[in-house]
């Protein structure tokens, strides 16, 4: 099957989605042709959907009722072509269902439906997971978009909308892979106008243990900015490649967490995972707003 990109368009934005992984690949402002989504070869992804796992599982395995199953980093959704189930000029819905191959690592019947909708300068994204099994299903879900930075990395700031006055993060053990240590540490940075610094990412990903409703990425050195509403997700991850000076930042809403180092997880009890009864479904929404003052009076 060819990777022919699917296009949504309105007066403000042109969006392209790869049916493989239902991956958001471009968000282009029509007036100035600026692409808000990373497309560099140094990290050859754009905005993968993480399902049914987030991060790397211990030994790339997990337990389900004490039986061992393999699970690759971030799950398998990004490897499969999604079926188009509805398409309009400014909206598209795609679906992934279980198959004989997914049963080898994830013995559940499911449907993961992803809907993208353009509304003016906003891109609304809905993820719906439905349990088609007769038994209880458990999953993690993440959205991993990489946003282009049109100014220097350290010229950017982030503001968080949260009721918390102190930011906290899950401590990360970098080697051999980024796992959680099991500890939570405080971050000595402001909730508003949080400065981006390369050294903050020396262990790679940063996962906040705060309930964040909204996050804004902006710089005084550029007209382009992005706001993400993510109230349905309990965790937020920031990531950029710690060993390269690249002009992108991933802002990732998570429902689920990576494993703690050397602790093989029983999936039905895994921290951060969600369980669904037979025929039950769960919906998560993200809203991205893309703004530019370039060329505006």
Instruction: Enumerate the β-bridge partners of residue 33.
Output: none
- The pLDDT, as a whole number, for residue 297 is 36
Torsion angle, alpha carbons of 262, 266, 267, 268, to 10 = -150
> Cβ contacts of residue 135 below 8 Å, gap of 6+?
108, 278
- The pLDDT, as a whole number, for residue 204 is 84
- The pLDDT, as a whole number, for residue 294 is 63
Q: Is 77 helix (H, G, I), strand (E, B) or coil?
A: helix
Query: Is 263 within 8 Å of 60 (Cβ atoms)?
Result: no
Signed CA dihedral, 126, 227, 39, 26: sign only:
positive
* Eight-class DSSP state of 101: H
Question: Domains (ranges, CATH) in the chain?
Answer: 4-290 (2.70.98.10)
- Residue found under tokens 């949504």: 8
Number of CB atoms found within 10 A of residue 184's CB: 13
Per-residue pLDDT of the chain in tens (297 residues, 90 and over written 9): 447 999 999 999 999 999 999 999 999 999 999 999 999 999 999 999 999 999 999 999 999 999 999 999 999 999 999 999 999 999 999 999 999 999 999 999 999 999 999 999 999 999 999 999 999 999 999 999 999 999 999 999 999 999 999 999 999 998 878 899 999 999 988 888 999 999 999 888 999 999 999 999 999 999 999 999 999 999 999 999 988 899 999 999 999 999 999 999 999 999 999 999 999 999 999 999 999 876 453
- Please name which of 252, 260, 241 lies closest in space to residue 178, comparing C-alpha atoms: 260
- Residue found under tokens 């560099």: 40
User: From residue 280, how far is each of 25, 109, 197, 267 by CA, in Å?
Assistant: 30, 12, 42, 18
Query: Is 285 within 8 Å of 83 (Cβ atoms)?
Result: no
- Per the structure block, which two tokens stand in for 163? 């009721």
pTM given for the model: 0.95
């Amino acid at each position: 099957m060819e990777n022919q990109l699917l296009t949504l368009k309105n007066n403000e934005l042109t969006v392209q989605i790869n049916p493989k992984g239902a991956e958001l690949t471009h968000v282009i402002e029509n007036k100035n042709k600026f692409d808000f989504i990373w497309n560099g070869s140094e990290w050859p992804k754009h905005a993968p959907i993480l399902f049914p796992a987030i991060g790397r599982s211990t030994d790339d395995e997990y337990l389900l009722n004490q039986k061992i199953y393999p699970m690759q980093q971030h799950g398998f959704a990004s490897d499969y072509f999604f079926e188009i189930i509805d398409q309009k000029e400014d909206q598209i819905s795609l679906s992934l269902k279980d198959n004989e191959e997914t049963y080898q690592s994830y013995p559940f019947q499911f449907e993961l439906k992803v809907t993208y909708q353009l509304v003016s300068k906003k891109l609304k994204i809905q993820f719906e997971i439905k349990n088609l099994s007769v038994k209880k299903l458990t999953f993690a879900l993440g959205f991993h978009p990489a946003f282009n930075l049109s100014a220097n990395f350290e010229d950017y700031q982030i503001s968080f909308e949260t009721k918390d006055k102190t930011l906290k993060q899950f401590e990360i053990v970098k080697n051999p892979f980024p796992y959680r240590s099991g500890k939570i540490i405080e971050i000595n940075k402001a909730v508003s106008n949080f400065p981006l610094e390369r050294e903050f990412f020396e262990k790679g990903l940063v996962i906040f243990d705060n309930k964040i409703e909204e996050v804004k990425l902006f710089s005084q050195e550029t007209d382009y900015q992005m706001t993400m509403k993510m109230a349905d997700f309990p965790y937020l991850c920031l990531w950029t490649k710690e060993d390269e000076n690249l002009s992108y930042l991933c802002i990732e809403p998570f429902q689920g967490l990576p494993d703690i180092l050397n602790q093989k997880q029983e999936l039905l009890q895994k921290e951060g995972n969600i369980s669904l009864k037979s025929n039950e479904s769960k919906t998560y929404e993200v809203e991205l707003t893309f703004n530019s003052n370039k060329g505006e009076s």
